[in-house]
Structure 1
Protein backbone atom coordinates (compact mmCIF):
# COMPACT_ATOMS: atom_id res chain seq x y z
CA UNK A 1 0.00 0.00 0.00
CA UNK A 2 1.46 3.35 -1.01
CA UNK A 3 1.49 6.48 1.14
CA UNK A 4 -1.56 7.99 -0.56
CA UNK A 5 -3.63 4.87 0.13
CA UNK A 6 -2.42 4.73 3.74
CA UNK A 7 -3.48 8.35 4.21
CA UNK A 8 -6.93 7.59 2.80
CA UNK A 9 -7.28 4.47 4.95
CA UNK A 10 -6.40 6.32 8.16
CA UNK A 11 -8.61 9.25 7.18
CA UNK A 12 -11.56 6.92 6.63
CA UNK A 13 -10.99 5.39 10.05
CA UNK A 14 -10.79 8.80 11.73
CA UNK A 15 -13.82 10.25 9.94
CA UNK A 16 -15.98 7.19 10.57
CA UNK A 17 -14.97 7.11 14.22
CA UNK A 18 -14.66 10.79 15.15
CA UNK A 19 -16.16 12.88 12.33
CA UNK A 20 -14.87 15.42 9.83
CA UNK A 21 -13.99 18.25 12.20
CA UNK A 22 -12.46 16.01 14.88
CA UNK A 23 -9.18 15.17 13.14
CA UNK A 24 -6.25 17.00 11.62
CA UNK A 25 -3.35 16.20 9.34
CA UNK A 26 -1.26 15.88 12.50
CA UNK A 27 -3.50 13.01 13.69
CA UNK A 28 -2.98 11.25 10.37
CA UNK A 29 0.77 11.84 10.40
CA UNK A 30 1.09 10.34 13.89
CA UNK A 31 -0.82 7.20 12.92
CA UNK A 32 1.20 6.62 9.74
CA UNK A 33 4.54 7.94 10.93
CA UNK A 34 5.00 10.60 8.24
CA UNK A 35 5.28 14.38 8.25
CA UNK A 36 2.21 16.51 7.66
CA UNK A 37 4.00 17.95 4.62
CA UNK A 38 3.83 14.47 3.07
CA UNK A 39 0.06 14.53 3.48
CA UNK A 40 -0.11 18.02 1.95
CA UNK A 41 1.91 16.72 -1.01
CA UNK A 42 -0.88 14.25 -1.84
CA UNK A 43 -3.79 16.33 -0.54
CA UNK A 44 -3.07 20.08 -0.39
CA UNK A 45 -6.24 20.79 1.59
CA UNK A 46 -8.56 18.88 3.87
CA UNK A 47 -11.24 19.30 1.21
CA UNK A 48 -8.96 17.60 -1.33
CA UNK A 49 -8.42 14.76 1.13
CA UNK A 50 -12.12 14.27 1.86
CA UNK A 51 -13.01 14.58 -1.82
CA UNK A 52 -10.55 11.78 -2.63
CA UNK A 53 -11.87 9.73 0.29
CA UNK A 54 -15.43 9.96 -1.03
CA UNK A 55 -14.32 9.17 -4.59
CA UNK A 56 -12.40 6.16 -3.30
CA UNK A 57 -15.47 5.00 -1.37
CA UNK A 58 -17.58 5.33 -4.54
CA UNK A 59 -15.13 3.15 -6.46
CA UNK A 60 -15.21 0.51 -3.71
CA UNK A 61 -19.00 0.64 -3.55
CA UNK A 62 -19.25 0.17 -7.32
CA UNK A 63 -16.98 -2.87 -6.99
CA UNK A 64 -19.34 -4.33 -4.36
CA UNK A 65 -22.35 -3.63 -6.56
CA UNK A 66 -20.65 -5.32 -9.52
CA UNK A 67 -19.60 -8.31 -7.42
CA UNK A 68 -23.20 -9.09 -6.42
CA UNK A 69 -24.89 -7.97 -9.64
CA UNK A 70 -26.03 -11.49 -10.56
CA UNK A 71 -27.23 -12.28 -7.03
CA UNK A 72 -30.81 -12.43 -5.83
CA UNK A 73 -32.44 -9.31 -4.42
CA UNK A 74 -32.31 -10.86 -0.93
CA UNK A 75 -28.57 -11.51 -1.23
CA UNK A 76 -27.97 -7.94 -2.38
CA UNK A 77 -30.10 -6.63 0.48
CA UNK A 78 -28.07 -8.76 2.91
CA UNK A 79 -24.82 -7.28 1.56
CA UNK A 80 -26.23 -3.77 1.93
CA UNK A 81 -27.45 -4.28 5.49
CA UNK A 82 -24.46 -6.34 6.66
CA UNK A 83 -22.24 -3.35 5.93
CA UNK A 84 -24.03 -1.29 8.58
CA UNK A 85 -23.98 -4.13 11.11
CA UNK A 86 -20.24 -4.48 10.51
CA UNK A 87 -19.71 -0.77 11.14
CA UNK A 88 -21.63 -1.04 14.43
CA UNK A 89 -19.39 -3.91 15.54
CA UNK A 90 -16.30 -1.80 14.74
CA UNK A 91 -17.56 1.32 16.53
CA UNK A 92 -17.69 3.26 13.26
CA UNK A 93 -20.47 5.04 11.43
CA UNK A 94 -21.22 5.25 7.73
CA UNK A 95 -18.98 7.67 5.83
CA UNK A 96 -22.00 9.51 4.43
CA UNK A 97 -23.54 9.97 7.88
CA UNK A 98 -20.20 10.94 9.43
CA UNK A 99 -19.64 13.62 6.83
CA UNK A 100 -23.24 14.85 6.72
CA UNK A 101 -23.04 15.84 10.36
CA UNK A 102 -20.41 18.44 9.42
CA UNK A 103 -21.63 19.35 5.93
CA UNK A 104 -22.01 23.05 6.75
CA UNK A 105 -18.25 23.37 7.18
CA UNK A 106 -17.39 21.74 3.84
CA UNK A 107 -16.82 23.34 0.48
CA UNK A 108 -19.22 22.80 -2.42
CA UNK A 109 -17.00 20.27 -4.21
CA UNK A 110 -17.15 17.98 -1.18
CA UNK A 111 -20.88 18.55 -0.71
CA UNK A 112 -21.54 17.64 -4.35
CA UNK A 113 -19.39 14.51 -4.17
CA UNK A 114 -21.05 13.47 -0.92
CA UNK A 115 -24.46 13.90 -2.53
CA UNK A 116 -23.32 11.74 -5.47
CA UNK A 117 -22.12 9.04 -3.07
CA UNK A 118 -25.43 9.08 -1.21
CA UNK A 119 -27.28 8.85 -4.54
CA UNK A 120 -25.15 5.87 -5.53
CA UNK A 121 -26.14 4.08 -2.31
CA UNK A 122 -29.83 4.97 -2.41
CA UNK A 123 -30.12 4.19 -6.13
CA UNK A 124 -28.54 0.78 -5.57
CA UNK A 125 -30.93 0.02 -2.73
CA UNK A 126 -33.85 1.25 -4.83
CA UNK A 127 -32.79 -1.05 -7.69
CA UNK A 128 -32.60 -4.00 -5.28
CA UNK A 129 -36.16 -3.30 -4.17
CA UNK A 130 -37.38 -2.83 -7.76
CA UNK A 131 -35.81 -6.17 -8.69
CA UNK A 132 -37.46 -7.80 -5.68
CA UNK A 133 -40.84 -6.43 -6.75
CA UNK A 134 -40.33 -7.52 -10.35
CA UNK A 135 -39.42 -11.05 -9.26
CA UNK A 136 -42.37 -11.05 -6.85
CA UNK A 137 -40.02 -11.72 -3.94
CA UNK A 138 -40.79 -8.45 -2.15
CA UNK A 139 -43.86 -6.39 -1.39
CA UNK A 140 -44.35 -2.96 0.18
CA UNK A 141 -46.97 -0.22 0.06
CA UNK A 142 -44.79 2.69 -1.08
CA UNK A 143 -42.57 3.41 -4.05
CA UNK A 144 -39.18 1.70 -4.17
CA UNK A 145 -37.46 5.06 -3.61
CA UNK A 146 -39.50 5.83 -0.49
CA UNK A 147 -38.92 2.31 0.87
CA UNK A 148 -35.19 2.56 0.05
CA UNK A 149 -34.98 5.86 1.93
CA UNK A 150 -36.85 4.35 4.87
CA UNK A 151 -34.53 1.33 5.01
CA UNK A 152 -31.41 3.44 4.57
CA UNK A 153 -32.51 5.76 7.38
CA UNK A 154 -33.10 2.82 9.71
CA UNK A 155 -29.90 0.88 9.00
CA UNK A 156 -27.69 3.98 8.97
CA UNK A 157 -28.80 4.62 12.57
CA UNK A 158 -27.63 1.19 13.75
CA UNK A 159 -23.93 2.14 14.03
CA UNK A 160 -24.86 5.41 15.74
CA UNK A 161 -27.12 3.75 18.30
CA UNK A 162 -24.51 1.08 18.99
CA UNK A 163 -22.23 3.82 20.33
CA UNK A 164 -24.47 4.44 23.33
CA UNK A 165 -24.35 0.80 24.32
CA UNK A 166 -27.99 -0.03 23.85
CA UNK A 167 -28.93 -3.64 24.46
CA UNK A 168 -30.92 -3.80 21.27
CA UNK A 169 -30.29 -6.67 18.94
CA UNK A 170 -29.47 -4.87 15.73
CA UNK A 171 -29.42 -8.16 13.85
CA UNK A 172 -33.06 -8.64 14.88
CA UNK A 173 -33.91 -5.16 13.64
CA UNK A 174 -32.33 -5.92 10.27
CA UNK A 175 -34.23 -9.23 10.10
CA UNK A 176 -37.45 -7.40 10.96
CA UNK A 177 -36.87 -4.93 8.12
CA UNK A 178 -36.22 -7.77 5.68
CA UNK A 179 -39.23 -9.75 6.91
CA UNK A 180 -41.46 -6.71 6.46
CA UNK A 181 -40.80 -6.64 2.71
CA UNK A 182 -40.08 -10.27 1.79
CA UNK A 183 -42.75 -12.56 0.44
CA UNK A 184 -42.43 -15.89 2.24
Structure 2
Protein backbone atom coordinates (compact mmCIF):
# COMPACT_ATOMS: atom_id res chain seq x y z
CA UNK A 1 0.00 0.00 0.00
CA UNK A 2 2.78 2.46 0.91
CA UNK A 3 4.51 1.70 -2.39
CA UNK A 4 1.33 2.48 -4.29
CA UNK A 5 0.94 5.78 -2.44
CA UNK A 6 4.56 6.73 -3.10
CA UNK A 7 4.13 5.96 -6.81
CA UNK A 8 0.85 7.81 -7.11
CA UNK A 9 1.03 10.86 -4.78
CA UNK A 10 4.61 10.84 -3.44
CA UNK A 11 6.25 10.07 -0.11
CA UNK A 12 5.69 13.48 1.46
CA UNK A 13 1.99 13.51 0.53
CA UNK A 14 0.69 10.46 2.37
CA UNK A 15 0.27 9.58 6.02
CA UNK A 16 -0.32 6.49 8.11
CA UNK A 17 -3.97 7.55 8.18
CA UNK A 18 -4.13 7.13 4.38
CA UNK A 19 -2.80 3.58 4.68
CA UNK A 20 -4.97 2.63 7.63
CA UNK A 21 -8.07 3.95 5.84
CA UNK A 22 -7.35 1.97 2.67
CA UNK A 23 -6.57 -1.21 4.62
CA UNK A 24 -9.32 -0.64 7.18
CA UNK A 25 -6.93 -1.02 10.12
CA UNK A 26 -5.87 1.24 12.96
CA UNK A 27 -2.83 3.54 12.68
CA UNK A 28 -1.37 1.76 15.70
CA UNK A 29 -1.12 -1.46 13.69
CA UNK A 30 1.10 0.26 11.14
CA UNK A 31 3.17 1.98 13.83
CA UNK A 32 3.77 -1.39 15.48
CA UNK A 33 5.64 -2.67 12.39
CA UNK A 34 6.96 0.68 11.21
CA UNK A 35 7.60 3.01 14.19
CA UNK A 36 8.46 5.87 11.84
CA UNK A 37 7.39 6.78 8.33
CA UNK A 38 11.02 6.53 7.22
CA UNK A 39 11.08 2.87 8.36
CA UNK A 40 8.13 2.31 6.07
CA UNK A 41 9.84 4.19 3.24
CA UNK A 42 13.03 2.14 3.66
CA UNK A 43 11.00 -1.07 3.47
CA UNK A 44 9.32 0.05 0.24
CA UNK A 45 12.72 0.81 -1.31
CA UNK A 46 14.13 -2.53 -0.14
CA UNK A 47 11.12 -4.35 -1.62
CA UNK A 48 11.80 -2.63 -4.94
CA UNK A 49 15.46 -3.60 -4.82
CA UNK A 50 14.54 -7.21 -4.09
CA UNK A 51 11.98 -7.22 -6.92
CA UNK A 52 14.52 -5.76 -9.35
CA UNK A 53 17.13 -8.36 -8.37
CA UNK A 54 14.57 -11.12 -8.85
CA UNK A 55 13.69 -9.78 -12.31
CA UNK A 56 17.27 -9.54 -13.52
CA UNK A 57 17.97 -13.04 -12.21
CA UNK A 58 15.09 -14.31 -14.40
CA UNK A 59 16.22 -12.23 -17.35
CA UNK A 60 19.77 -13.59 -17.18
CA UNK A 61 18.70 -16.57 -19.33
CA UNK A 62 17.70 -14.21 -22.14
CA UNK A 63 19.98 -12.64 -24.75
CA UNK A 64 21.16 -9.04 -24.20
CA UNK A 65 18.56 -7.52 -26.54
CA UNK A 66 15.69 -9.30 -24.75
CA UNK A 67 17.02 -8.33 -21.30
CA UNK A 68 17.18 -4.73 -22.45
CA UNK A 69 13.64 -4.88 -23.84
CA UNK A 70 12.44 -6.37 -20.53
CA UNK A 71 14.03 -3.46 -18.68
CA UNK A 72 12.50 -0.90 -21.04
CA UNK A 73 9.04 -2.44 -20.53
CA UNK A 74 9.42 -3.06 -16.79
CA UNK A 75 6.91 -0.38 -15.77
CA UNK A 76 4.30 -0.79 -18.50
CA UNK A 77 1.58 -1.61 -15.97
CA UNK A 78 2.13 1.76 -14.26
CA UNK A 79 0.69 3.76 -17.15
CA UNK A 80 -2.93 2.76 -16.60
CA UNK A 81 -2.59 3.68 -12.91
CA UNK A 82 -0.80 7.00 -13.55
CA UNK A 83 2.10 5.84 -11.38
CA UNK A 84 5.76 6.66 -11.60
CA UNK A 85 8.47 4.27 -10.45
CA UNK A 86 9.76 4.49 -6.89
CA UNK A 87 13.00 6.13 -8.02
CA UNK A 88 11.07 8.68 -10.06
CA UNK A 89 8.76 9.35 -7.13
CA UNK A 90 11.47 9.70 -4.48
CA UNK A 91 14.36 11.32 -6.36
CA UNK A 92 12.70 14.75 -6.77
CA UNK A 93 12.27 14.98 -2.99
CA UNK A 94 15.63 13.36 -2.17
CA UNK A 95 16.84 16.29 -0.06
CA UNK A 96 13.75 16.08 2.15
CA UNK A 97 14.04 12.33 2.73
CA UNK A 98 15.48 10.99 6.00
CA UNK A 99 19.09 9.73 5.80
CA UNK A 100 18.10 6.06 6.02
CA UNK A 101 15.84 6.44 3.00
CA UNK A 102 18.47 8.39 1.06
CA UNK A 103 20.98 5.56 1.60
CA UNK A 104 18.53 2.88 0.47
CA UNK A 105 17.49 4.91 -2.56
CA UNK A 106 21.15 5.31 -3.54
CA UNK A 107 21.59 1.51 -3.28
CA UNK A 108 18.59 0.94 -5.51
CA UNK A 109 19.70 3.45 -8.14
CA UNK A 110 23.29 2.17 -8.12
CA UNK A 111 22.12 -1.43 -8.48
CA UNK A 112 19.96 -0.54 -11.47
CA UNK A 113 22.68 1.55 -13.11
CA UNK A 114 25.43 -1.03 -12.52
CA UNK A 115 23.30 -3.78 -14.04
CA UNK A 116 22.28 -1.62 -17.00
CA UNK A 117 25.85 -0.43 -17.59
CA UNK A 118 27.12 -4.01 -17.57
CA UNK A 119 24.36 -5.16 -19.92
CA UNK A 120 25.07 -2.33 -22.34
CA UNK A 121 28.81 -2.98 -22.28
CA UNK A 122 28.39 -6.70 -22.92
CA UNK A 123 25.87 -5.97 -25.66
CA UNK A 124 28.20 -3.51 -27.34
CA UNK A 125 31.15 -5.93 -27.11
CA UNK A 126 29.09 -8.55 -28.96
CA UNK A 127 27.72 -6.03 -31.50
CA UNK A 128 24.16 -6.36 -30.19
CA UNK A 129 24.11 -2.65 -29.30
CA UNK A 130 25.71 0.27 -31.04
CA UNK A 131 26.25 3.65 -29.38
CA UNK A 132 29.08 6.16 -29.13
CA UNK A 133 28.84 7.14 -25.45
CA UNK A 134 30.43 5.16 -22.65
CA UNK A 135 28.20 2.38 -21.37
CA UNK A 136 27.81 4.25 -18.07
CA UNK A 137 26.74 7.46 -19.81
CA UNK A 138 24.31 5.53 -21.99
CA UNK A 139 22.88 3.86 -18.85
CA UNK A 140 22.36 7.31 -17.30
CA UNK A 141 20.61 8.51 -20.44
CA UNK A 142 18.33 5.48 -20.72
CA UNK A 143 17.39 5.38 -17.05
CA UNK A 144 16.73 9.13 -16.98
CA UNK A 145 14.62 8.96 -20.12
CA UNK A 146 12.44 6.22 -18.65
CA UNK A 147 12.03 8.04 -15.33
CA UNK A 148 11.04 11.29 -16.97
CA UNK A 149 8.78 9.60 -19.52
CA UNK A 150 6.69 8.11 -16.70
CA UNK A 151 6.47 11.52 -15.05
CA UNK A 152 5.58 13.30 -18.29
CA UNK A 153 3.00 10.63 -19.13
CA UNK A 154 1.39 11.22 -15.74
CA UNK A 155 1.04 14.92 -16.53
CA UNK A 156 0.16 14.78 -20.22
CA UNK A 157 -1.78 11.51 -20.14
CA UNK A 158 -0.62 10.60 -23.61
CA UNK A 159 1.91 8.28 -25.21
CA UNK A 160 5.17 9.93 -24.08
CA UNK A 161 6.23 6.78 -22.25
CA UNK A 162 5.54 4.55 -25.26
CA UNK A 163 7.34 6.94 -27.65
CA UNK A 164 10.42 7.06 -25.43
CA UNK A 165 10.41 3.27 -25.15
CA UNK A 166 10.31 2.88 -28.91
CA UNK A 167 13.24 5.26 -29.30
CA UNK A 168 15.30 3.52 -26.64
CA UNK A 169 14.79 0.08 -28.11
CA UNK A 170 16.66 1.19 -31.23
CA UNK A 171 20.15 1.33 -29.74
The alignment's TM-score, normalised by the length of structure 1, stands at 0.88
3-state secondary structure, aligned to 1:163: helix
Q: Which runs of 5+ in 2 are unaligned?
A: none
Residue 13 (structure 2) aligned to one of 5, 19, 22: 22
Residue 52 (structure 1) aligned to one of 25, 34, 43: 43
* 1:162 match: 153
Residue 129 (structure 1) aligned to one of 117, 120, 131: 120
1:74 aligns with 2:65: yes
| 4+ residue segments displaced more than 6 Å | none
Q: For residues 157 and 88 of structure 1, do their structure 2 counterparts lie closer, same or farther at Cα, with a shift above 3 Å needed? A: farther
CA displacement at 1:158 relative to structure 2 = 1.5
CA displacement at 1:169 relative to structure 2 = 5.1
1:38 aligns with 2:32: no
* 1:138 match: 129
Name whichever of 11-20 and 95-104 sits farther off.
95-104
CA displacement at 1:89 relative to structure 2 = 3.0
Q: Which runs of 5+ in 1 are unaligned?
A: 1-9
In structure 1, how many angstroms separate the alpha carbons of the residues matched to 2:9 and 2:37?
A: 15
The alignment's C-alpha RMSD in Å is 1.4
In structure 1, how many angstroms separate the alpha carbons of the residues matched to 2:48 and 2:168?
A: 25
* 1:152 match: 143
The alignment's TM-score, normalised by the length of structure 2, stands at 0.94
Question: How many residue pairs end up in the alignment?
Answer: 171
